Amino acid sequence: MQHFFALIAFVLLSATFPASAQDEPIEVEGPLPQLSGLQAEVAQSVGDKQKLTQEIVDSLFSFSELGFQEFETQRYLTEILEDSGFTIERGVSGIPSSWWATWGSGKPVIALGSDVDGIPKSSQLPGVTYRQPMVEGAPGHGEGHNSGQAVNITAALAVKEIMERENLPGTIVLWPGIAEELVATKAWFARDGRYEGVDAVLFTHVDDEMNVSWGQPTGTGLISVEYTFHGVAAHGAVDPWKGKSALDAVELMNIAWNYRREHLHPLQRSHYVIVDGGDQPNVVPSEATVWYFIREMTADKIRENFAKLQRTAEGAAMMTDTTMSRRIVGAAYPRHFNKPIALAMYDNMRAVGMPEWSEDDQAFARAFQEFMEAEEVTGLRTELEPINEPLEIPESGGSDDIGDVSWNVPTVTMRFPSNIEGRTGHHWSSAIAMATPVAHKGATAGAKVLAATMLDLIQDESLVDDAWKYFREEQAPNETYVPFISDDDDPATEKNIRIMSEYKGRLQKFYYDPAKYDTYLEQLGIDYPQLTDPDAE
């Protein structure tokens, strides 16, 4: 049914929508485009590199690193890139786990980005359709950020070979989305001028479909902020009247915000965790910290709600005779993606098509969807959806700090099909497929599209010109980009140190060894697809 409606939407859109700045109709019907020339060659070359793609996907999965602590990931990926002739700079923007890899010279400068960090408590055995942590309580890739760098590196290496052979000018930059789950680095990269001189940013993100969009997509921007209250300790029973409880301030702030929610616009999203609520009950907490995400659809509304939150925190401090300090932990501007690049990329998606899934892959996906009690058990997608047009009615949801990049350089996010529909976000179910043939094939398909689009930008100067024309004339006039962070905001690089130090030793035993095992599933002894739990009664 879903596909039927998609088809109708497809026909209507293609009949009525002007396509580009030049008002040509969007070519989304009729015979599929074919890759030809160097684009066809590069797609072939990406296919030949699928072993490397699989090894990167599986290795990052096994590292299971949280934001700001992606040090195994950094070591492993920068070694591959260095061996391939890229110049590496580590620790950019004061973020020790980050890097910037550059190869080539001259224009165009194409920068490929993808996130690398995992999700707390989402450790999960891959290739099975039941809950089984690899290390109980440990982080895992419960979003699938282990796959995007495989897409980017495979594409970059294939394009680099062709550029060398054909003497094509251009510079390839590869950078990581560090701590994306904390939305805490890309605005810093942008603030520090990392995207100056870049002609286009091609960002990649895992999904269960292959697609790209332009304009503002579904989702929000945000400010991530911690409020710490400072009070006075006292004995909880002997002389509590001497104490000023910082935890009381946190609780009163949260109560006030939860009342306030009713009077905020329904598209907002806001949520918090108490990261420090004191030490033990008989000591009045002298310090307590609450961490908020404030999300809205526009930068102005984010600022408006942030100001309300700030007053709420001030009020809580006043009520408890405590003092309050605040720290910006992350920021993400609402995204705006580039139309000419999105259209060129979508053409390549149509030419490359969805991966050829095996019967095992489909059986795995269907069993997973049944296990997750998905509304529809459809298996893996085999067809492209129509290109994502800008939404006429804004739709709330998550954020990504690629938003800040998208206001500095023409940017698109390519979504590639390495995961299964029916999963829950930020949850172990999103990790189950992420070191299986589903993830590997999806990453290879994505890398073909990405490589072909890189060559489009390298070979066709007018595409870069059109991208900047759209950026300057259609995107920029509607918004003045004023970053949410200032020069005084330092990246929150201490985040997740404690969790990773607790689990790293145990996770190391599960690191993938490509020298010994063809795949990670083989190393783990999983007979893919494992559709039932052998330990279940």
Using CB positions, name the residue nearest to Zn ion.
Answer: 143
- One character per residue 90-129, x = contact with Zn ion (rule: CB under 5 A): ----------------------------------------
Between 28 and 183, name the residue whose CB sits nearer to Zn ion. 183
Between 142 and 355, name the residue whose CB sits nearer to Zn ion. 142
**287-296 and 269-276 strand pairing:** antiparallel
Burial level of 361, CB count in 10 A (0-12/13-18/19+)?
A: buried
CB of 205 to Zn ion, least distance (A): 6
What whole-number distance in Å separates Cα of residue 173 and Cα of residue 110? 6
CB of 460 to Zn ion, least distance (A): 30
Residue 465 Cα distances to 104, 221, 236, 454, 457, angstroms: 20, 28, 67, 14, 10
CB of 417 to Zn ion, least distance (A): 15
CB of 340 to Zn ion, least distance (A): 25
Between 58 and 143, name the residue whose CB sits nearer to Zn ion. 143
Nearest Cα to Cα of residue 275 among 222, 330, 229: 229
- One character per residue 132-161, x = contact with Zn ion (rule: CB under 5 A): -----------x------------------
Burial level of 356, CB count in 10 A (0-12/13-18/19+)?
A: exposed
Site residues (CB under 5 A) for Zn ion, limited to 26-65: none
Nearest Cα to Cα of residue 213 among 412, 496, 503, 37: 412
What whole-number distance in Å separates Cα of residue 135 and Cα of residue 506? 7
Give the total of residues touching Zn ion (CB under 5 A).
1
Between 55 and 143, name the residue whose CB sits nearer to Zn ion. 143
Between 322 and 399, name the residue whose CB sits nearer to Zn ion. 399
**287-296 and 221-230 strand pairing:** antiparallel
A 10 A CB-CB count for 505 gives: 9
CB of 186 to Zn ion, least distance (A): 12
By the 8 A CB rule, do 396 and 269 touch? yes
By the 8 A CB rule, do 336 and 407 touch? yes
E strands, 163-230, are: 170-177, 200-207, 221-230
Site residues (CB under 5 A) for Zn ion, limited to 306-365: none
CB of 399 to Zn ion, least distance (A): 10
CB of 40 to Zn ion, least distance (A): 31
Between 182 and 351, name the residue whose CB sits nearer to Zn ion. 182
**Tokens representing 495?**
């985040």
Q: Which residues contact 517 (CB under 8 A, 6 or more apart)?
A: 523
Between 153 and 457, name the residue whose CB sits nearer to Zn ion. 153
CB of 185 to Zn ion, least distance (A): 13
Between 70 and 143, name the residue whose CB sits nearer to Zn ion. 143
Applying CB under 5 A, the residues found at the interface with Zn ion are: 143
